[in-house]
């Protein structure tokens, strides 16, 4: 053994040698773990390397949102007009002020319009104008052009409804397969070409029903087994404004309303009076959906809301970044190597180190909103993206997952029976990432087991 090799081995810290990397190469993984109730790092490996965190970046957004917006934050949707209301007729335009409510759906839109009917409005003689000033611009997600029609890549919007997803719902009626569009967008025609299928089981309904969109027509063809009665698949149609306008028109008609005469964008005039306002559920409800089910669109909406509610430059995206970076400074957490694009991890550019993300986990667990933050994380073997993972450790382990083509990531907490908690971050960047998810799980499991053993040895 050469002197240089011996000196290199002696220079490696005991912590760096503690991790059992298994099938993982040392240069493709970063690890950091520390007790929430302690001060010393329990284990680390390449903890300062800049890594793509994939969806574990959502933890940064959730932490910043709880601290900057507060757990009681609600998104407000409003309908205003400066037109005269006469005998049930609104003789002018209706302004819909959207603020990016990430959980806004058909039920919320129905309630908004039901209240408008209760105000005495039956017919809208003008246009529906979407006031979109809450977000000056939308953050990018560069490098996902090939996934533009996939639900996970739907961009956020001030008037996002149902995550801009229309559902195709399948059922059998008198021995024939049927399909309906939910919500029933009036500008689309559904062309049902389905034939009865004989397969005993359904499985994924998309294996039996082929969907194609051409202009304003949605064609559904294939052989649908009776076992697919009650199944559903999604279809991404229209841009955000078109979807919002058609959803509005469809629901307004079901409530007995008439109009409006088209949809466009427009700023609400100062003299417009409020007709209806509707507040969302509190922020933690959105964070639960975001972290448990790794919803990119909702996370990006929350991230933009950070900028909208903390305006400095007038640029929503820049102000969102400032909201996060100023919080890091306030809490004494290193600003580097964090790189932000959209706060959701749907990014080829976003970076963070295991140590930096770990410091955020510690701050979140020690802060006033620890309960809300931790409750948003998936429970191992029970729900969300961890429902089928870590069965041997069970729900004492709460981890946010992250997945991209070349990335697998885990970050969260394990709680011992004594109540002591370990914060854990494991980030894998590798062309082999898809093959190594099991190895990453094993690495996290090994850290937990060694920490549990250490606790048992303590007097």
The CATH number of residue 40's host domain is 3.40.710.10
Distance of CA 71 to the CA centre of its chain: 17
Domain identity same for 291 and 377: yes
Do 231 and 243 fall into the same domain? no
Same domain membership, residue 413 and residue 296: yes
Q: How many alpha carbons lie under 13 Å from residue 195 in its C-beta half-sphere?
A: 4
Residue 419: the pLDDT is 96
Inform me whether the pLDDT recorded for 323 exceeds 60: yes
Residue 8 has what pLDDT? 36
**pLDDT tens for each residue of 169-201:** 999 999 999 999 988 888 889 999 999 998 778
84: pLDDT strictly greater than 80: yes
Contact 130, 159 (CB under 8 A): yes
**Mean pLDDT calculated for residue range 2-15:** 39
pLDDT reported for residue 18: 62
pLDDT at 145: 63
Full-model pTM: 0.91
Can you tell me the mean pLDDT for 397-406? 98
Residue 235 has pLDDT above 90, yes or no: no
Q: Are residues 404 and 338 both part of a single domain? A: yes
Tokens read off for 323? 């909201």
In this predicted structure, what is the pLDDT of residue 345? 97
CATH number, domain with residue 266 = 3.50.80.20
Average pLDDT of the segment spanning 298-321: 97
* Distances, alpha carbon 454 to alpha carbons 112, 334, 420, 447, in Å: 55, 29, 12, 11
pLDDT at 5 over 70: no
Pick the more confident residue, 286 or 164: 286
Domain identity same for 376 and 302: yes
Looking at the fold, whether 109 and 256 belong to one and the same domain comes out as: yes
**Range of the structural domain that residue 415 is part of:** 3-72+283-457
Note whether 178 and 309 are same-domain residues. no
Q: Do 44 and 141 lie in a common domain? A: no
What percent of the residues of the chain are helix, what percent strand, and what percent coil, each to the nearest 5? 35, 25, 40
Q: Are residues 108 and 254 in the same domain?
A: yes
Residue finishing a domain among 279, 308, 341: 279
What does pLDDT average to over the chain?
93
pLDDT digits (tens, 9 = 90+) for 349-375: 999 999 999 999 999 999 999 999 999
Per-residue pLDDT at 216: 87
For residues 415 and 266, membership in a common domain is answered with: no
Verify that 315 and 362 share a domain, yes or no.
yes
Domain limit, last residue, from 215, 235, 255? 235
Q: Identify the band that residue 13 occupies on the pLDDT scale cut at 50, 70 and 90.
A: very low
**For residue 243, with 0-12 CB atoms within 10 Å meaning exposed, 13-18 middle and 19 or more buried, which class applies?**
buried
161 burial type by CB count under 10 A (0-12 exposed, 13-18 middle, 19+ buried): buried
353 and 205: one domain?
no
The lowest-confidence range among 55-69, 205-219, 285-299 is 205-219
Number of domains in the chain: 3
Q: Rg of the chain's alpha carbons, rounded to an integer? A: 25
Look at residues 179, 213, 235 and tell me which one is the last residue of a structural domain. 235
């Amino acid at each position: 053994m050469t002197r240089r090799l011996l000196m290199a081995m002696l220079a490696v810290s005991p912590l760096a040698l503690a991790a059992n990397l298994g099938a993982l190469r040392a240069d493709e993984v970063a690890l950091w773990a520390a007790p929430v109730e302690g001060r010393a790092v329990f284990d680390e490996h390449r903890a300062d390397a800049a890594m793509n965190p994939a969806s574990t970046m959502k933890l940064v957004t959730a932490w910043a949102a709880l601290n900057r917006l507060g757990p009681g934050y609600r998104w407000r949707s409003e309908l205003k007009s400066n037109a005269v209301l006469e005998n049930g007729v609104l003789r002018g335009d209706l302004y819909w002020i959207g603020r990016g409510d990430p959980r806004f759906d058909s039920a919320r839109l129905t309630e908004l319009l039901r209240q408008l009917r209760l105000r005495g409005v039956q017919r809208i003689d003008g246009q529906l104008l979407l006031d979109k000033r809450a977000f000056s611009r939308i953050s990018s997600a560069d490098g996902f052009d090939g996934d533009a029609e996939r639900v996970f890549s739907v961009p956020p919007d001030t008037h996002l409804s149902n995550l801009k997803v229309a559902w195709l719902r399948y059922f059998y009626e008198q021995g024939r397969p049927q399909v309906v569009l939910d919500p029933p967008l009036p500008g689309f025609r559904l062309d049902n070409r389905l034939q009865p299928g004989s397969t005993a089981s359904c499985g994924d309904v998309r294996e039996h029903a082929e969907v194609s969109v051409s202009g304003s027509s949605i064609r559904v063809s294939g052989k649908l087994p009776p076992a697919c009665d009650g199944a559903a698949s999604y279809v991404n149609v229209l841009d955000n404004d078109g979807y919002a306008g058609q959803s509005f028109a469809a629901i307004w008609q079901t409530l007995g309303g008439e109009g409006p005469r088209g949809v466009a964008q427009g700023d609400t005039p100062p003299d417009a009076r409020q007709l209806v306002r509707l507040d969302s559920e509190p922020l933690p409800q959105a964070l639960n959906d975001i972290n448990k089910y790794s919803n990119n669109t909702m996370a990006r909406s929350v991230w933009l809301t950070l900028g909208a509610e903390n305006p400095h430059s007038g640029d929503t995206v820049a102000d969102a970044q400032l909201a996060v970076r100023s919080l890091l400074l306030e809490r004494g957490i290193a600003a580097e190597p964090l790189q932000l694009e959209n706060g959701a991890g749907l990014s080829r550019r976003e970076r963070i180190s295991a140590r930096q993300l770990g410091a955020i986990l510690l701050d979140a667990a020690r802060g006033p909103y620890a309960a809300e933050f931790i409750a948003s994380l998936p429970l191992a073997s029970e729900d969300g993206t961890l429902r089928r993972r870590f069965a041997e450790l069970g729900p004492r382990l709460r981890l946010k997952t992250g997945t991209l083509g070349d990335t697998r990531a885990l970050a969260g907490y394990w709680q011992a029976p004594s109540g002591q908690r370990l914060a854990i971050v494991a980030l894998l960047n590798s062309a082999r990432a898809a093959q190594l998810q099991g190895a990453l799980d094993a690495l996290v499991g090994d850290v937990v087991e060694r920490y549990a053993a250490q606790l048992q040895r303590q007097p």
